[in-house]
């Protein structure tokens, strides 16, 4: 209920509800008959359909925008693979791990003293991804 009875907008609103009461009480057949003679009724129906289509598009666009924003945000996180690993740093990290004799990392199974630069970088990257190396370690 609109509170201020003296406001003509509120009065029109009450009148609109009365008119809607009749619209909803008029049978489908009668209303279609009326629409056959009154072009504005057909236009009102089309306007409602367009409003629905526009709403579908607007909601779809909003969802797409949200998905894009989420994707952008995810992409802006630094990927592990993107972190540059220097071959010398990789060898240094491996040497430290050998010195620490960390059996949990099963490094002893490998001949780590003779790994190539590429293998050293790959190994450090894998260890980093597995969480075996502290995230804050500087390459």
Partner 1 sequence: MITTEKIRDVLSVDEFKGNLSSLSEANWIRLGRSAERLCMGLAIEGKDLLQLVFCKALEGKRKCPRSLPVEVFIFGAMESLVDTYLKSRKRDPLYLTIKSTEDDPSDIDDLRPTIDTPEEILKAKQTLQEIEQTLKDDEAMVVMAQLDEYSPQQIQETVGITPTQYASTLRAIRRKVDRLAK
Residues that bind partner 1 (CB under 8 A): 1-5, 7-26, 28, 31-32, 35, 38, 40-52, 54-56, 58-59, 62
Residue 61 beta carbon to partner 1: minimum distance, rounded to whole angstroms? 11
Which of 91, 89, 75 has its CA nearest to residue 139? 89
Nearer to partner 1, 57 or 116 (CB): 57
Nearer to partner 1, 14 or 96 (CB): 14
Q: How far apart are CA 40 and CA 48, in angstroms?
A: 12
107-116 contacts at long range (C-beta below 8 A, 24 or more positions apart): 115/91
Nearer to partner 1, 59 or 71 (CB): 59
Nearer to partner 1, 66 or 100 (CB): 66
Q: Give the single-character DSSP code of 102.
A: -
Residue 122 beta carbon to partner 1: minimum distance, rounded to whole angstroms? 47
Residue 62 beta carbon to partner 1: minimum distance, rounded to whole angstroms? 8
């Amino acid at each position: 209920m609109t509170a201020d009875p003296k406001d003509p907008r509120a009065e029109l609103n009450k009148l609109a509800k009365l008119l809607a009461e009749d619209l909803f009480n008029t049978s489908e057949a009668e209303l279609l008959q009326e629409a056959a003679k009154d072009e504005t009724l057909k236009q009102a129906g089309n306007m409602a359909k367009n409003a629905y289509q526009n709403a579908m598009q607007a909601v779809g666009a909003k969802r797409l925008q949200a998905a894009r924003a989420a994707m952008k945000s995810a992409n802006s996180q630094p990927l592990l693979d993107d972190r540059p690993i220097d071959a010398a740093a990789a060898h240094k990290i491996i040497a430290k791990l050998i010195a620490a004799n960390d059996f949990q990392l099963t490094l002893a199974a490998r001949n780590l003293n003779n790994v190539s630069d590429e293998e050293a970088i790959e190994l450090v990257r894998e260890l980093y991804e597995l969480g075996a190396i502290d995230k804050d370690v500087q390459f």
